[in-house]
Amino acid sequence: MPVHARFRLSEDSRLSYWHDKGYIPAARIKLSAVQGPPFGPATPQGNIEMVIVNPEAVSMFREVELGQEYDVIFTPVKKGGE
């Protein structure tokens, strides 16, 4: 059974990330669990922190205001699969 959670963008920081032969621009993204609806008393708790180096993925977070919410669905990955 998948787990549905909602997270709010709480931090977007710029950083340099070592990749192969040099530093490249990257972002550290922090998301915090949203309290309340649609989950009520079953609201998942927690944080997600990612370092993102893909410029297209970085832009998804840079082009919105802090506080933007995202739905996340967690499902198991079959061994050896994608």
Q: Is the pLDDT of residue 21 over 90?
A: no
Lowest mean pLDDT among 2-11, 13-22, 30-39, 71-80: 30-39
* CA dist., res. 58 & res. 52, Å (int): 6
Do the strands 22-33 and 3-19 form a parallel or antiparallel pair, or are they unpaired? Answer: antiparallel
* Distance separating the N- and C-terminal Cα atoms of the chain: 17
The pLDDT mean for the chain works out to 88
pTM for this predicted structure? 0.78
pLDDT reported for residue 82 = 63
